[in-house]
Structure 1
Amino acid sequence: MAAQAHKATDLRVLKSSGFRAYLATLFLGAFNDNLFKLLLICFALNLLTREQQNNYVPLATALFTLPYILFSSYAGFLADRFSKRTVMIVSKAAEIAIMGCGYYFFRIQAATPLLFVLFAMGAQSAFFGPAKYGFLPEVLPDKALSRGNGAVQLATFLAIILGGAVAGHLATKYIEMPAAARVEQPAIAGEAVSSSDAPAPTTAALSQKDPKVSAAATAAGTTREAPEQSGAAKQPTQVHRAAIHCVVIAVIGFITSLLIMPTPPGHRDAVFTWNPLSTHWQTLHAMRRDRLLILCLLGNCYFWFMGVLFQSNLPLLVKNDIGASDQTVGILLAAVALGIGIGSSAAGFLSRGKIEYGLVLPGGLLVALFAIILGVFGRWLAPAAICVSLMGFCSGFFQLPLVTSIQKRSPADQRGQFMGAVNAVDCLGMLLAAVFHWLLIKPLGLSASAVFVVLGLLTLGVLMMMSKNAPSLLARAKQLLKP
């Protein structure tokens, strides 16, 4: 109850040591997720033959994503039943054990067990998510909620960029590649060579949630080289020396989690259900009673749909239309991730102590506009770089009020279940984006430039649907834009 009183009266909570520890904890978690995942991919590109890689890397991505669908309802129950601080601490303790197993299997160069480690990582992140997002409404005053979410997004996307940068450095240092038969290959599964080589729906386009844009972790331009011959021999690697950093970061993250400010105790009447699908269905049915809440859920899902479609298509644009390198892909992905973080932080500041719904439609409209411009003028690097940066920045304006509203409008005793359902729906949106991109590139044969035009037009359609079903969004946007 002290935490509730603290929430109600003290705006300085955003600068408190307990809240900073929370930001540090989620930063280290996102950083470690991307560091480990990229090290694993670089390791696979070194250890496995080309034929094995084509199966291993998409499988790794799918195994990391699957726990969000399987375990989000269980994670939501735990976040409701127990203190969210306690759930985060236990999750971080589990991360130490998981990273320890990862270090061991890297040391003995066991590729298959590392897939189980990656699945466990996805499960750990899935259990951490509802507590992480449900934490904010419990400790922050209502007028600080938007700024708090902006800080969370900025910390998350900075972690994605830095995790990719460190992974690239460590992979270069510790993963030795053969001198002969080298070919450039990006450290993500969706290789961009020609439009006919577009990734199928099960490739790395299925990006990690929390951060749900993990492939943006290639933002450091992490590229590796792999044996060209399908029968190439295994190459020596000291990747376990890089993996020890993951263990150390997990330990530090556990320590920072102990410093997170107290949260109210859980609700003893929280109901556990074994069937995750029925739990999600019941939660979504409850959310439908609040039209604005369900609209925010769908809008947030579309944000991640856009993210995966963008991430899948950008390498094709850079390689085929611009004719640039994998490093350029990494730099542009970094620009997008940084833009989202800065845009979210700016949106939190501009909200001025409330949930500013007036930012949603203008932010989405600008994303659509820059996507169309990117499709038309994206053959030149400078316009492309400007467009992708502004798309990231404006998408922060679009998404921040949506996720903040979900937190605010969810019942306090079911907030964990609601956030768990949000995670599951977002993952389904990302899967649909991967399928949609594959359909546009393969059966329809669209160019990468045309896909961005389609994305812009689709976004305009989504915005029209949102304004029709929630006229208050349009009214507030007009009011906000008045001179």
Structure 2
Amino acid sequence: MATDTPHRTPHSQYALLRQRRFLPFFLTQSLGAFNDNVYRQAIIGLLFYLNVSSDDKALYANLAPALFILPYFLFSAIAGQIAEKLEKSRLIRTTTAMEIAIMSLAAVGFLTQNLVVLLIALFFTGVQSTLFGPVKYSILPAVLHSRELTGGNGLVEMGTSISILIGMIVGGLIFDVGGAQGPWIAATAIIALAVTGHLVSRAIPHVAPGAPELHVQWNPLPESIAILRLAKRQLAVRNAILGVSWFWFVGTVLTAQLPAYAELHLGGDAGLYIAALALFSIGTGIGSLLCEKLSARTVEIGLVPLGAFGISAFLLDLYFQRQGLAPLRVDSFIAFLEAPGGWRIAFDLVGIGFSSGVFVVPLFALIQSRTPGSEMSRVIAGMNIQNAAFIVLAAVLGLLAQRAFGISIPQLLLALAIANALVAVWIFTIVPEFLMRFLSWVLVRALYRLRARGIDHIPDEGAALVVCNHVSYMDALILAASIPRPVRFVMYYKIFNIPVMRWIFKTAKAIPIAGAREDPALMQRAFDEIDAALADGQIVGIFPEGALTKDGAIAPFKGGVERILERRPVPVIPMALRGMWASMWSRRDTRRGRTRLPRRLRAQVEVVAEAPLHGERVDAQMLEARVKAMRGDAA
């Protein structure tokens, strides 16, 4: 993880665009995606310019995607090892230099109008993308703080989706506008973009390799199996990777249908297809960027169910828009919007893209935050192999559905909406943490306006003990929504057993505890489980007061915290909740056991954290004084 001092952490993802640790990489990635799509669309333009036969066009339509995706199966395992072993900025410069050579070969293909040369260059473009892939996502956790991962990934996804869109538009216009000069324009453009990308990549600062001692194994088959196993070792990471691959499946099916959907059901030509793709891409970019705001700058996987079911909802609505209706006949995008249902279809396309961004960005952040740095590139390479398999599967199933079974495009969208919902439910059933985080995210955002300060003091890895004042039944959820890493909360067993909340607490692996007089066996099990969690490098959260405050003041901290630290003196992070006493679920103004309704719809709540203290140098009294000072008068 990044090691910059906390006060230098930007408060907005857009601040990253002014920093050298992120901006050159962001531009390099965006230029690469832009150039790839300029190149591929220019080949299509050349086919129409040369007026080749329909058979040759069909050959390209089937062969080109296969040539581009094949290297992901062949070389991802090797690429992951290389990305793990080498210094990352050096590897990025190497891959961008490769791009110059590949685009030079492609330029020869354009100038000689040789389709075979262009397809060979396309294969090598796939090789270059395969080598760059593991670096693309493994570099982010090396240069960003944990609280910047969601925003950084959002920017990368936004930049990529917009670059792909603009690249397709520019590449498609080269031969339409350039005419006889098209081959020269295409050749010049792709080389110029490759050179620009390489020059920009030279500004990327040094990023240490993840595992410099790694011995690269060059046999792709056993290594592919090995890195796939590595990617599946952690349950949450394994299913996050499955979610990313499913995102590619859905995106492949949808984008493959857009050209025919625009022509058959929207009544437009290639221009309307580009407009539909633009709506989807813009939605993806907006959703990706808003993830940081929605997650309050944490790795919030609670957004994943929101995105998943949003995709299904908008796909379902898109199905009903044109089902059973005669195709539209329009000559412009404005005419399409003015036609019956036009605005709603546009809204659905933006909504699908928006939900896709909300779905996939937290998954990338989760993979990066929970994968050891020495394994990151190989895990990403394993993800790329699985992604490639899902893309091929999506293309084959989409083709079979329409040609073998005669399924219409709206019917295919309906099937995709249902399949997406079922897959989402399956993933969330296997890993309840996704759904648990979603429910806690909804509860916290619905009841409170949450602000967090000093959260960068939470270490990116390793054991730590979080101590905080205890004001309401929602305290654990508030802290969990603020801290980027999973926290094992120790809580009074009667709170742990509250209906509905019990499932959330249990899924979050909270540790129930009782007083020595109530249940000494449960108390001993709790201390044993706390020690085991700290020994495993986890974060444990405790409320040393032992009970909810009855008057808003902080009660004396009990000696349990000292008992924990005597056994295992890990760093201690003091935290304070401010504003919770006046909110719902505290004991203020209760009557006959009923909780007072809040004076306003959403109470302003603040979470404050201080720098870690050495576990051997603190006691309960010192921690109590620190937390009181941090809370101040904002009970």
TM-score, length of structure 2 as denominator length: 0.64
Q: 1:1-31 CA deviation, whole Å, 9 max, x = no partner?
A: xx94337773148231341111111111110
Q: Map residues 44-443 of structure 1 onto 2, 5 A cutoff.
A: 44-47=47-50, 48-176=52-180, 238-378=182-322, 380-443=341-404
CA 1:313–1:238: 2 relative to 1, 3 Å: closer
> Is 1:16 the counterpart of 2:19 in the alignment?
yes
Once residues 306 and 430 of structure 2 are traced to their aligned partners in structure 1, the CA distance between those partners, rounded to angstroms, is 16
Alignment check: 8 A CA contact 2:134 2:380 kept: yes
Worse-superposed segment, 403-412 or 113-122: 403-412
Is the CA contact 1:374–1:384 (under 8 Å) kept in the aligned structure 2? yes
Structure 2 Cα separation of the partners of residues 103 and 157 of structure 1: 25
Q: Unpaired runs of 5+ in structure 2?
A: 326-340, 447-635
Query: SS at the partner of 2:299?
Result: coil
Deviations 1:48-103 (A, max 9, x none): 32222221332122111111221111111111010111110100111111111211
Of 427, 430, 439, 1:478 maps to: 439
CA separation in 2, counterparts of 1:277 and 1:56? 28
CA contact (8 A) 1:150 1:348 kept: yes
Which 4+ residue blocks in structure 1 deviate beyond 6 angstroms? none
In the alignment, what sits opposite 2:572?
none
* Matched-pair contact (CA < 8 Å) for 1:361–1:474: yes
| Residue ranges of structure 1 left out of the alignment (5+ in a row) | 177-236
* Amino acid across the alignment from 2:30: F
Task: Say if 2:111 and 2:184, in contact at 8 Å, map to a contact too.
Answer: yes
Q: 1:188 aligns to what?
A: none
Structure 2 match to 1:454: 415
Task: Give, in whole Å, the separation in 1 of the partners of 2:411 and 2:432.
Answer: 31
> Is contact 1:348–1:400 with CA below 8 Å preserved after alignment?
no
Contact 1:314–1:448, Cα closer than 8 Å, also in 2: no
Q: Given that residues 370 and 391 in structure 1 are in contact (C-alpha distance below 8 angstroms), is that contact kept between their aligned partners in structure 2?
A: yes
Letter in 2 for 1:26: Q
Q: Which is greater in Rg? A: 2
Distance 1:376 1:339 in 2: 20
- Range 268-277 or range 38-47, more displaced: 268-277
Matched letter for residue 27 of structure 2:
A
Using the alignment, how far apart are the partners of 1:257 and 1:21 within structure 2? 6
RMSD: 1.8
Q: Tell me which protein shows more helix as a share of its residues.
A: 1
Report if the CA contact (8 A) 1:370-1:388 is conserved. Answer: yes
Greater RCO, 1 or 2 (C-alpha within 8 Å, sep 6+)? 1
AA matched with 2:399: W
2:111 partner amino acid: R
Alignment check: 8 A CA contact 2:283 2:350 kept: yes
In structure 2, the CA distance between the partners of 1:345 and 1:328, relative to structure 1 (3 Å rule), is: same
Q: Structure 1 vs Structure 2: percent identity of aligned residues?
A: 30
Partner residue, 1:192: none
Name the aligned partner's letter for residue 470 of structure 1: V
User: Deviation at 1:107?
Assistant: 1.2
Q: 8 Å contact 2:305–2:434 — kept in the other structure?
A: yes
CA distance in 2, matches of 1:65, 1:240: 27
Residues 58 and 18 of structure 1: CA distance in aligned 2, closer, same or farther (over 3 Å): same
C-alpha change, 1:327 and 1:149, in structure 2 (3 Å) is same
Deviation of 1:310 (Å): 0.6
Cα distance per residue 1:396-433 (max 9 Å; x no partner): 11111111111222221121111111111101101111
Conserved in 2, the CA contact under 8 Å of 1:69 and 1:427? Answer: yes
Cα distance in 1, alignment partners of residues 6 and 221 from structure 2: 36
Change in Cα spacing, 1:4 to 1:467, as seen in structure 2 (3 Å) is closer
Instruction: Return the letter of the residue paired with 1:295.
Output: N
Contact 2:210–2:373 under 8 Å retained in 1:
no
The CA deviation at 1:320 is 2.2
Q: Which amino acid aligns with 1:426?
A: N
- In the alignment, the residues of structure 2 paired with residue 254 and residue 298 of structure 1 have an alpha-carbon distance, to the nearest angstrom, of 32
Relative to 1, partners in 2 of residues 1:317 and 1:49: Cα closer, same or farther, differing over 3 Å?
closer
Deviation at 1:284, TM superposition (A): 2.1
Equivalent residue for 1:187? none
What amino acid is aligned across from residue 365 of structure 1 in structure 2?
F
Q: 1:304 to 1:52 in 2, by over 3 A?
A: same
Offset of residue 261 of structure 1? 2.0
* CA offset digits 1:120-172 (Å, max 9, x no partner): 11111111111111100101011111110001011111111111222133221
> SS state of the match for residue 322, structure 1?
coil
- Cα distance change of structure 1 residues 261 and 398 upon mapping to structure 2, 3 Å threshold: same
The alpha-carbon distance between structure 1 residues 175 and 120, as it changes in their structure 2 partners (threshold 3 A), is: farther
